[in-house]
A and B are shown apart, each in its own frame.
Chain A
Amino acid sequence: MWLSHVFALLVRVLVGAQAQWIGCKPAPVLRIYYANHTSHLDTLALWCALPHHLRKTTRPVAASDYWNRGGLRGYVATHGFNALFIERDKDKRAGDPLEPLAQALARGESLVIFPEGTRRAQALPSPFKSGIFHLATKFPDAELVPVYLNNLYRSMPKGTYLPVPLTCSVRFGAPLARIADEPKEAFLERARQAVVDLA
Chain B
Amino acid sequence: MQQKFYWLFGGIGVLLVVASTIGWLLQRRSPDSSTIANLVARVNAWWIMVAVLAAGFLLGRNATIVLFAIASLFALREFVTLTPTRPGDHLPLVVCFYVLLPVQYLLIGDDWYNLFAIFLPVYGFLLLPVLTAVSGDTEQFLERVTKLQWGLMITVYCISYVPALVLVQVPGFSVGNQNLLLVIYLLFVVQISDVLQYVFGKLFGKHKIAPRVSPSKTVEGFIGGGASAVGVGAALWWITPFTPLQAAGMAAVIVLAGFLGGIALSAVKRSLGAKDWGSMIEGHGGMLDRLDSVSFAAPVFFHLTRYFFEP
**Does B78 interact with chain A (Cβ within 8 Å)?**
yes
Q: Are B90 and A157 neighbours in the complex by a CB distance under 8 Å? A: yes
Interface size on B, residues (CB 8 A): 16
Q: Which of A18, A121, A165, A167 contacts B97 (CB 8 A)?
A: A165
Q: Please, which residues of chain B bring their CB within 8 A of the CB of A167?
A: 77-78, 81, 278, 280
Q: Are A164 and B280 neighbours in the complex by a CB distance under 8 Å? A: no
Q: Are B279 and A162 neighbours in the complex by a CB distance under 8 Å? A: no
Q: Please, which residues of chain A bring their CB within 8 A of the CB of B81?
A: 151, 166-167
Given the known A-B contacts A164-B94, A164-B97, A167-B278, are A157 and B77 also in contact in the complex, defined by CB atoms under 8 Å? no
Given the known A-B contacts A121-B87, A157-B87, A157-B90, are A165 and B280 also in contact in the complex, defined by CB atoms under 8 Å? no
Given the known A-B contacts A162-B98, A164-B80, A167-B78, are A18 and B279 also in contact in the complex, defined by CB atoms under 8 Å? yes
Q: With both chains docked as a complex, state the minimum distance between the C-beta of A28 and any C-beta of chain B, in angstroms.
A: 27
Interface size on A, residues (CB 8 A): 13
- Could you tell me the distance between the alpha carbons of A126 and B148 in the complex, rounded to whole angstroms? 30
Q: Are A164 and B90 neighbours in the complex by a CB distance under 8 Å? A: yes
**Does B63 interact with chain A (Cβ within 8 Å)?**
no
Per-residue CB contact flags for chain A residues 1-27 toward chain B (1 = under 8 Å, else 0) read 000000000000100101000000000
A18's nearest neighbour on chain B, judged by CB, is: B279
A14's nearest neighbour on chain B, judged by CB, is: B77
**Does A88 interact with chain B (Cβ within 8 Å)?**
no
Q: With both chains docked as a complex, state the minimum distance between the C-beta of A115 and any C-beta of chain B, in angstroms.
A: 23
Q: Please, which residues of chain B bring their CB within 8 A of the CB of A16?
A: 77, 280
Q: Are B77 and A165 neighbours in the complex by a CB distance under 8 Å? A: yes
**Does A55 interact with chain B (Cβ within 8 Å)?**
no
Per-residue CB contact flags for chain A residues 148-165 toward chain B (1 = under 8 Å, else 0) read 000100100100101011
- Could you tell me the distance between the alpha carbons of A151 and B81 in the complex, rounded to whole angstroms? 8
Q: Are B80 and A166 neighbours in the complex by a CB distance under 8 Å? A: yes
- Could you tell me the distance between the alpha carbons of A13 and B98 in the complex, rounded to whole angstroms? 13
B101's nearest neighbour on chain A, judged by CB, is: A165
- Could you tell me the distance between the alpha carbons of A167 and B277 in the complex, rounded to whole angstroms? 11
- Could you tell me the distance between the alpha carbons of A127 and B280 in the complex, rounded to whole angstroms? 34
Q: Please, which residues of chain B bring their CB within 8 A of the CB of A13?
A: 73
Per-residue CB contact flags for chain B residues 64-85 toward chain A (1 = under 8 Å, else 0) read 0000000001001110110001
B286's nearest neighbour on chain A, judged by CB, is: A167
Per-residue CB contact flags for chain A residues 139-152 toward chain B (1 = under 8 Å, else 0) read 00000000000010
Q: Please, which residues of chain A bring their CB within 8 A of the CB of B87?
A: 121, 157, 160
Q: Please, which residues of chain B bring their CB within 8 A of the CB of A160?
A: 87, 90, 94
Can you report 11 A-B residue pairs in the complex whose CB atoms are below 8 A from each other? A16-B77, A16-B280, A154-B85, A157-B87, A160-B90, A162-B94, A162-B98, A165-B80, A166-B80, A167-B81, A167-B280
The 4 A-B pairs of least Cβ separation, nearest first, read A165-B77, A164-B93, A167-B81, A157-B87
